[in-house]
Structure 1
Amino acid sequence: MLADKIFRNGVIVTVDPHQPRAEAIAVRDGHILAVGSWDSLSPLQGSSTEIIDLKGNTLLPGFVEAHAHPLMSGIAWGDPVIDIRAVHTPTYEAAIAKMKRRADKAKPGEILWFLGLDPQLHIGMREPSVQELDDISATNPIVVQTSNTHAGYLNTAALAAFGIDENYVPPMGGQVQRDATGALWKFEELAIWNISLQFFDTCDDTRNKKVMTEWLNMFARAGYTASSEIFVAPHQTPYFERVLRGQEQPIRVFGYEHEAPDLKMSVSPNNGDDLWNIRGLKIQADGSVLVGNVWVSRPYLNTKMTRTNMGLPENNVGHMNYTHDELLRMMSSYAVDGWQIAVHAHGDLTIDAVLNVFEEVLAAFPQAAKPFRLEHCGIMRPDQIERAVRLGVSCSFFLPYIYYWGDALHDNLLGPERAARFTPSGEALRKGMRVSHHCDSPMTWPNAVLCLYLATTRKSSSGRVLGPDQRMTIDEAICAITLDAAYQLRMEEKIGSLAAGKYADFVILDGNILTRDPDDLLNAKILGTYLGGRSVWSEL
């Protein structure tokens, strides 16, 4: 059997423990035909075989993002959403001025959705009051959502537009706060997300498909060949499937439907194929460290950032979104049908509570799909890592937190000790856990190279090292965004490493990634991405 393509003359890192390095790799019909030396693979060359000269560059398994939202990222960031992130508008006053300029051009009744308010990065930040937003526009509905998407502020017109009155009860798992006048004002977790889904459902279908496709291609350009879509409202599942089936996909997408306490999954287990598939259930057990609504055993620091920018009470310890019984009921209702469970948990007390429920559910429903997953795991203690390993629970760690908000964690939110252990993936790996690293778009953009840099350096954007003992080797860092991420998506038999029979999903990086100085990893370039042997992105 002859090969369609043979890649050679470069650094081939297989992430296969039986054959870590290779000289060549042969592809046929979208799968890997053989991996080995050039001498052993050259007989597979025929007259129509394409020989791809790597020119000394590195070929790896395609990157796998175990925790992301590529489809929702497109919807969340595409026009008409207005970007007010600090990278563009560094001060709070500049963000307000941008809102005013946009409101001045708004059509009557047009909903104005601003995304990117950042209590940690916007200089002069304060929480926008209902009155301040009403002053921007008394007639146009205004929603201002934080950059982490976990909170949003509404003006009076927005409350009316979304049917929210004094009798409003937030959905299970959501919270709402009132301002000093008693008016409904700040919506968190499922409260703001349900409002956002109402808004996105009003957007033009052509627009939604366009922006989703743009983001899928953005992932491919970043070297990803597979990603989760780890927040799928049940009504979105058929819609997302229609969008994906209507195009030649640049990446594989594996969905996790979000908790809907009164609904069952909209599909059955093991549905779909290896391009689009609903994998399991996602539960939001707590919130964002950057909002202050994660449940911690030691309070947040009392600083201007926590008290004024974030509006937290003194000695804030946050909270969980669900009780033990509510978590147990939700997980059990899905695990009994063989679903995988993934739970967002940042605070250490939340992690304790989730592990308690995991232990009960795993014992009661051995048919549930494994591994059960913990998502983000910002403030995770050593004993919790050991317990998770005993239970067979795997963690996906949100490393870019360190780069973008590491200095805020160190100086203003948690203090040096907890900042040094934030997202402790190196320790988890050494204790025997199969870990992954993710960028969690739409919060940060897909950037596997940044994950490699952070795993090996633990440096914030200012160059401050947070937890040098949490560093990994480059081989370990690569495994965390390839094979072990595929394991968390229950796809390790088909993707994540380069072995005969697996899909020919590859990424090509410039130079030798193995010998590159870790501090220079941010300069590594993606030269090509292949999905099933098909080039979906190339700068070669």
Structure 2
Amino acid sequence: MAHQHHCQGCAQCACHNPYWDVFKNNDGVEAFLRQLKATLPRAQNLEHLMPATTAIYTGGCIRPMINGQCDPVEALGIAKGKVVAVGALAAVKQAMIAQGCANYELVTLENGQTLLPGLIEPHVHIVPTAMTMSWLDLSPFHGQNLMSGYSIDYINKILSGSKKPVNNGWILGVGVDPALMPFVDSDGASQLCQIDIATLDAARPDTPVFLISASLHTAYINSKALALIKAANELSDDKVNEIIHQGALQEATQMGWGIKAIPEFQKLEVVTHLESNIREIFTTASQRGVTTMFEAGMQPSMVDMLKAYRTYNPHNVRVGYARVFESAEQVNNDKNGLSAYTPLQEEDLSTVFQAAVKLVSDGSNQGLTGFQLDEYVCNPQDNFGILNFSYGDAPHTDPTKPDFQTTVSAVIDKGWPLLIHANGDQAVNYTINVYETALNGQSGLDKRHRIEHCSLLTDDNAKRMTKLGLSPSFLIGHVGYWGYAFDEVIFKEKAQLLDRCQTMLELGARITLHSDLSVTPLGPLRMMEQAVTRVMEQSPTQAVLNEREVLTKEQALRAITYDAAWQCHIDQWVGSLEPGKLADFVILAKDPVAVESNLIRDIPVLQTWVAGKLRYHS
């Protein structure tokens, strides 16, 4: 079957998860707060009673990343949650004594063990990921690696083997990714694998099935689910036939129809599991050396949920965020719009803190909704993706949507740092244009404005970004996980424009690497490896995508520490280990700068510390 998605509507990302909208509008946030309180009595989080280490670390390899440089030092002294001194061991001992910290523990790292600043994830989605973590995991990942044998047969085997839910419940799943299944031949050309209603009927005819794709723009259903969706939403036969023709539910409106029809008790299960799922995300982050996570697209109700969570749980990971808006009208709303910008203070880092604003310009390249200058090479034909804003009389855009320029200018006029999600080359081009107009001669470096993903970048746009002071945060998994699909089927030659890390560094920009959880798994070391190898992991020959864009290990390490802190507006306090900064650090079993490039992701994390407090020990 040819891909029937015609890219109408609003392109989704994790912060625009259609399930979240239904959850939020049906008292889901209040239900979560009630669920937390129902588990009482239990002690509130007693962070102030946790001991902070007073210690000098020496031996092994200590890379404090001062000024973003990888140079090692002999010793590091820590007390009262902060770095006291770095340098020669004798000088650090003297400084500790001078600061009244003479009763320090001397910790000698073993040969090869490496101490680094805490690793930073500058673009994740915590709450939306946690909401569906208890559903069937149908993603292509095993840990941080692509699993072998990922295919429709794999999906169907899981569905066929799943127990029939009680009380007429549905089989619910997430993470389905046809772009990482074996390609199919269509008229002599390779195409992405397709899943339709008949496919799921064959696997599970007896139970309603609802599976959300990894790109979040499609929900795959079977006939049993479609009948219930028709009844719950009073859909006409014409609408039902449209869905049958497409083979799935497409975009927010249709996916919302499906979510509405899911039994209420299963929606309530989201609330029941939410706290433990959030805890699992933070636990995994600590196990992978992450000390700060930046939520790239929070809504106020999500902030309330995370603050409530932290009332009763240890603060294992710092959490910052960018608040998401969709129009200038939302930004300028007198009641719940955007206030004037005020810079962060150190005490904010112990809360859930806002550091920026987020806009989403387009969709997902692997989901075929990233907005392109030229149509996608693969099916369906005449597909240019989706732009979530109007942009003059530009082709393939919708004039009824909020104006892109007005929305960007409204945020910048209020003084806020801005993150704009842009995947397709035309989305990136338009994003640079609206930044240029809104900045009106100011440098984007003043507020560290970012382009998120910035996936397909031409030479001209790379130079324009640098001139304007815009920095990219690259979803480097586009190269490692989907590079082969982009190169072989989705883009072909244009895949060479993906994640141009080295180009941007050579032009003088600062870059970061991110996971976009749940799009790819958490793991800065894995991201570092993908940036220094650019191996297309689905390629039978493990081919490299555009070797010219490979980073050195030192450059990649800076991107997940020093420059990640800078992009998140917290570099005054974290991102490097210099005197006076917070003692956020990790200890690894091996030095990521010294090991073979293809072994970086598998380096064991031995310990993770936040503000001098031990948060993880292997």
Sort the TM-score into its range (normalised by shorter chain). 0.7 to 0.9
CA contact (8 A) 2:326 2:360 kept: no
Distance 1:83 1:505, change over 3 A: same
Which residue is 1:61 aligned to? 117
CA contact (8 A) 2:443 2:469 kept: no
For 1:193 and 1:24, the matched residues in 2 are separated by 56
Distance 1:257 1:12, change over 3 A: same
Which residue is 1:50 aligned to? 105
Q: Deviations over 1:220-248 (max 9, x none)?
A: 11111101111323322211211123221
Q: Deviations over 1:62-99 (max 9, x none)?
A: 1111111234322232x1x1112243872213313433
Which residue is 1:508 aligned to? 587
> Map of 1:1-80 to 2, 5 A cutoff?
4-17=54-67, 20-43=71-94, 44=96, 48-56=103-111, 57-77=113-133, 79=134
Are 2:325 and 1:259 equivalent residues in the alignment? yes
Residue 494 of structure 1 is aligned with which of 573, 576, 580? Answer: 573
Are 2:516 and 1:437 equivalent residues in the alignment? no
Which residue is 1:144 aligned to? 211
For 2:114 and 2:362, the matched residues in 1 are separated by 39
Give the gaps of 5 or more residues in structure 2: 1-51, 141-146, 185-191, 392-401
Distance 1:327 1:439, change over 3 A: same
For 2:108 and 2:260, the matched residues in 1 are separated by 46
CA contact (8 A) 1:362 1:368 kept: no
Distance 1:474 1:136, change over 3 A: closer
CA contact (8 A) 2:229 2:258 kept: no
Which residue is 1:471 aligned to? 550
CA shift for structure 1 position 468: 1.1
Distance 1:3 1:82, change over 3 A: closer
CA contact (8 A) 2:179 2:367 kept: no
Which residue is 1:356 aligned to? 433
For 2:536 and 2:444, the matched residues in 1 are separated by 42
Q: Secondary structure at the match of 2:460?
A: helix
For 1:120 and 1:238, the matched residues in 2 are separated by 35
For 1:370 and 1:167, the matched residues in 2 are separated by 52
For 1:332 and 1:240, the matched residues in 2 are separated by 29
CA contact (8 A) 1:84 1:115 kept: yes
For 2:437 and 2:474, the matched residues in 1 are separated by 24
One-letter amino acid matched to 2:529: Y
For 2:300 and 2:235, the matched residues in 1 are separated by 26
Instruction: Say which is worse superposed, 156-165 or 349-358, in terms of deviation.
Output: 156-165
Distance 1:195 1:212, change over 3 A: farther
Which residue is 1:93 aligned to? 153
Q: Deviations over 1:454-494 (max 9, x none)?
A: 22221122421111111122111111011111111111111
For 1:267 and 1:42, the matched residues in 2 are separated by 48
Which residue is 1:218 aligned to? 284
Which residue is 2:300 aligned to? 234
CA shift for structure 1 position 201: 6.2
Q: Secondary structure at the match of 1:536?
A: strand
Instruction: Say which is worse superposed, 511-520 or 383-392, in terms of deviation.
Output: 511-520
Which residue is 1:173 aligned to? none
Q: Deviations over 1:240-268 (max 9, x none)?
A: 21112322111111122222446455775
For 1:141 and 1:255, the matched residues in 2 are separated by 36
Q: Deviations over 1:138-184 (max 9, x none)?
A: 89653221123343234425635874746999xxxxxx994455x89
One-letter amino acid matched to 1:494: W
For 2:267 and 2:483, the matched residues in 1 are separated by 35
Are 2:314 and 1:248 equivalent residues in the alignment? yes
One-letter amino acid matched to 2:166: K
CA shift for structure 1 position 322: 1.6
Which residue is 1:460 aligned to? 536
> Map of 1:79-228 to 2, 5 A cutoff?
79=134, 81-86=135-140, 87=147, 90-102=150-162, 105-123=164-182, 126-130=193-197, 133=200, 142-154=209-221, 155-157=225-227, 159=229, 163=233, 165=235, 178-179=242-243, 181=245, 185-188=248-251, 192=255, 202-228=268-294
Which residue is 1:290 aligned to? 366
CA contact (8 A) 1:140 1:157 kept: no
CA shift for structure 1 position 209: 0.7
One-letter amino acid matched to 1:35: V
For 2:253 and 2:525, the matched residues in 1 are separated by 31
One-letter amino acid matched to 2:110: K
Superposed CA RMSD: 3.3
Count of residues paired in the alignment: 518
Residue 392 of structure 1 is aligned with which of 448, 454, 469? Answer: 469
Give the gaps of 5 or more residues in structure 1: 170-175
CA shift for structure 1 position 446: 0.9
For 1:140 and 1:334, the matched residues in 2 are separated by 47
